[in-house]
Amino acid sequence: MNYAVSRNANPQPLGSTVVAKFGGTSVADYDAMNRSADVVLSNPNVRLVVLSASAGITNLLVELAQGKDAERRVFLLDEIRRIQSAIIDCLNKPDVIREEIGRMLENISMLSEAASLATSTALTDELVSHGELMSTLLFVEILRERNVAAEWFDVRKVMRTNEHFGKAEPDTTALSELALQQLQPRIQEALVVTQGFIGAEAKGRTTTLGRGGSDYTAALLGEALSVARVDIWTDVPGIYTTDPRVVPAAKRIDRITFEEAAEMATFGAKVLHPATLLPAVRRGIPVFVGSSKDPAAGGTLVCNTTVNPPLFRALALRRKQTLVTLHSLSMLHSHGFLAEVFGILARHNVSVDLITTSEVSVALTLDTTGSTSSGASLLTTSLLTELSSLCRVEVEENLALIALIGNKLSQASGVGKEVFGVLDPFNIRMICYGASSYNLCFLVPGNDADQVITTLHRNLFE
């Protein structure tokens, strides 16, 4: 109780402010929310808290947005109600918050009924945003029951984005101005709790930043407010040499550079959202990654420089990759073939991940993860038809992208032998190397992915 008084009587200078972000598992239920509240209150510099939706809620909302029949809608709504009610039932004074969450659930019901008649990306974002709105309302209530002066803030007042529903891009200039006007004065007076992942376009319609966008929100707000650090609290205590669920012998990395961490995130390490680090890098703000379940276990600090960076830093894995190979004899010595291919892909909003070329063919990988509304294939019939009019198209699915992250890889000798020498038993479908000195990437059949990661990790890290 005294803690709350001391933290608000002497507001910290903004230069020492920490933004703390908590993922879905960290706000999954009443106990998890209380553990996260302990983490927040253990550091008086934490003035802004960014939350994801409670674990499982976003998936239920995404399914509702796909337009389900009445029976399925009732089941999904009951699941959402059950998860949120389990938290409300543990509160000392649940009546007011039960009413507020009840209104949210009515909204969800109404929007899901609209989705059953006609779906749209704008409607999906409006519906899905309710997960974060509910978790933040509940978290504020938990803090207030501890006599903390906590304030709920609608992030859509400051998070201006474009109209690309499902994976909106923030307008950082507008965000900066609005955050300084509306958020900065508030965080000096109270502990502010807001939503990750969601924003609003110029007309006020709700948008989302793509799956995993809560990390991005925390970093964007940190950049706008020039904070001292961004803390990402998740269910693992830091960033590891690879996914510990695939390789139990994976080791934690205590300090890692922005470049290394960004490469890891881009190539599938789920601890951080790929775009998270960009705002932090722009402003040189360190990012700490720790576990809300075990804050004492420490974590990983992502910062500008590290001492003696190793040749091999980590292995990242990205599943569900698609390889598209385009064959055309007219490509030989012709100008503009690639420009035409990329023009077609751009018209269909498809971005290319990796690319290799030969005299008469070009192979591209497409990453199918990322957008809120993902699930549908990126390779639509109209896209394939347009590509087929230009060349012969071959599509391979269920591939996995393995990325070896390191430092000055392209300048070191023997890297190829060390990596591929132990991968004799596996079919390697495509290799990308040399464009970046931080990574070496290759595609393998999806079913071999875990074994490839295990073999490489044993050889390079253990």
> Which residue numbers belong to the known binding site for substrate?
58, 132
Joined together, the tokens standing for residue 76 give: 């999904």
Distances (CA, A) of 174 to 169, 170, 202: 12, 9, 10
Residue 13's Cβ-side half-sphere holds a number of Cα atoms within 13 Å equal to 3
CA distance 141 to 144: 5
The two tokens of residue 7 are 């933290």
- Helices 70-88, 57-65: axis angle to 10 degrees equals 160
Q: Which of 84, 14, 23 is nearest to 48 (CA)?
A: 14
Binding-site residues:
21-24, 58, 132, 234-235, 240, 245, 270-271
The residue whose two tokens read 């407010």 is 225
> How far, in Å, CA of 57 to CA of 64, rounded?
11
For residue 55, the Cα-to-chain-centroid distance in whole angstroms is: 14
How far apart are alpha carbons 64 and 109 in whole angstroms? 9
CB neighbour class for 51 (10 Å; exposed up to 12, middle 13-18, buried from 19) = buried
The strand pair at 299-303 and 255-257 is best described as: parallel
User: What distance in Å separates the CA atoms of residue 266 and residue 275, rounded to the nearest whole number?
Assistant: 8
Output the known binding site for ATP. Answer: 21-24, 234-235, 240, 245, 270-271
